[in-house]
Structure 1
Amino acid sequence: MKKIIVFGATGNLGANICLHLKDKYEIIPVGHRKNDNGFFADYNMHYYSVDISKKQDFNQLPHKDVYAVLNFAGMLPASMKGYDPELYISSIICGTLNILEYIRKINVDRIIFPQSLFDISYLFGTKTPIPANSIRKAPYEGDHAMYVIAKNAAVDMIEHYHSLYGLKRFIFRLSRIYSYDPNPYTYTDGEKVLISDRYLIYRAMEGKDLEIWGDPKRLLETVHVYDFLQIIERSLEVDHEGGIYNVASGGSTIEERVKGIMEIFNPNPNAKIIYAPEKTNSTQFVLDYLKTVNELGYKPSYTWKDYLEYFKEEMKVQRFKKLWGEEKDYYKNNI
């Protein structure tokens, strides 16, 4: 089996990638955490603890016969308490450069890298699908600004190594990938908040009414983690130079989302959906994924309701408990 290194393996997307690909490839999971609590060993994978901002840490990794590197490491605004822009520089810019040098030295065939959706945030606000090849621009305000600046710099470095060394590159612009995580919190402007759809799911599980704020027909991208994993798998199989691709499925409306949560999670037949058009609208956007279809053979297969059914099942089986803990741990420790 071809050998693949997954940086950021202890994160949500990285862990899902490792489990999805393990039967087709020899997966080497790499993370910043000192240990993985033995999670990957349960799947016959050896975990490496590497700080990608430190060149010397790469010495412990394989130095031959690596087919592909997936770089899903790096600080996220959703994980940052307060504000420390240096973490974006060290983990995304310096870290990506170190990974590229590692790739160059051992002659890796391709790299897969997640780009921030906010590089095209200037095009948000309509239902017109945003093309994959739209001009990348970092916002200069808000908690994502320095993050997107760093991501754009990383993409530029990857394109440089593609041009100079022939490195195949598959750069995926990610909207939110919907997958299960026991942590129900995110950070906005450095402050911890409950994830919005998790709030609605919890209310539904308690049999309460749900509200739809603003325009119920606002459209948001919806990408089930299984569709995302399909794209990752196809990018490892195709024989061309790659490029920048949108990860998308056509989106779902706010109304479809809330109605789905009510149907899947609410045990109370008398619970109601309350429309509140006077409250804040969501910022709508949808991505054009035709390039992903044409060049990678992507076939969107999962709906918002499919995601909710999957989420409900994952809450029961807790596949990643050993790696991430359970929801009660986040409530108890307020993390």
Structure 2
Amino acid sequence: MRFVLLGAGVFAASLLVVKGQLGVPSSLPLPVLVAVAAVAGLAAWQARRSWWPLAAVGAAGYVWLVMWPPLLVASYYAGLALSGRRLAAYLGGCLAVCGIAALAGAQRSGPYELMTATTGNALILALAVIGLPLALGLLVRTRREAAVERAERREHEQVMRAEQARAQERARIAREMHDVVAHRVSLMVLHAGALEMRAPDGETERAAALIGGIGREALANLRDVLGVLRTPGRESAVQPPPTLGDLDRLLDQSRALGIAVTRHDEGEARPVEPTVERTAYRVVQEALTNVHKHAGDAATDVLIRYGPGELEVEVRNQAPGSPPGELPGAGWGLVGLRERVELLGGTLRTSAQDGGGFLVSARIPA
């Protein structure tokens, strides 16, 4: 809409100039003058795409009829768009146009000579038609660039403040985990080692060794997490994240704690994305943890099914055979697991089964 109004304004001003109301009257027929003004208005309307046609029409109209509105608007857009050598080239072209117009005015004499060939009038007209709009365009562009620079600087400062706040929060979490969680797990490992050394029988010694091994693995994973928290972007330095290749070791740990775990694989096993494998491993890990917490030594089936475009994981436990021990929990395990699965575009389903069992089922695109 803005360029439509601009085109209409240039058409009206150009028509008034060539008819003599705002410039030198022309002896051309009115239809010709209207056509010339219409061409100028059309070029101004197209300035949203390219203002060079407007500059060409303005140069021709200025030399031929001293029709200055197109050249005035083109000079403003030149100030908005040009810099350096291109701006110097435009100024050189404008000087050439003024020179040619002066020569043409001297040949035609009368009002044309007065407007374009008289030194004082020519300078005033060139300053009003070319210099002032060009300076205005440069001023507007400078202000726009300054505003954009200020906005980018504010955005950068906001990003830096947000990064600093995140870094401080990560450091705080890392300190809390080190001072509380790592300390408690270290005590657990030390007590398990002492129990292993003073075990009265082989079964107790094996159980203590298992607890110590799990605790040391937890400490290693915890150190890895703390390193990532303190140094964002740091790769895992202790050991790579577990995948389905580590699943049997996880199941063996649950079997050593008295749970009868059976693994079933369906479909043709194939390589899938590492993030999918890690998520599938975490599904089984969290489900087995819940079995230990809430179902005691209930028999559990773990199913890994390779579908055409997805990987399905099911962990189904029977009703508890003996009362489970009281293990504390925050209640966020399944919530975090659901978020992890949904981030990959999958779905997680949990439901109680007839007879007292429980099912955790995940479908992950792969």
Structure having the larger proportion of residues in helix: 2
Structure with bigger gyration radius = 2
Structure having the larger proportion of residues in strand: 1
Band the TM-score falls in, shorter-chain normalisation: under 0.3
Task: Compare relative contact order (CA 8 Å, sep 6+) and give the higher one, 1 or 2.
Answer: 1
Question: TM-score, normalized by length of structure 2?
Answer: 0.21
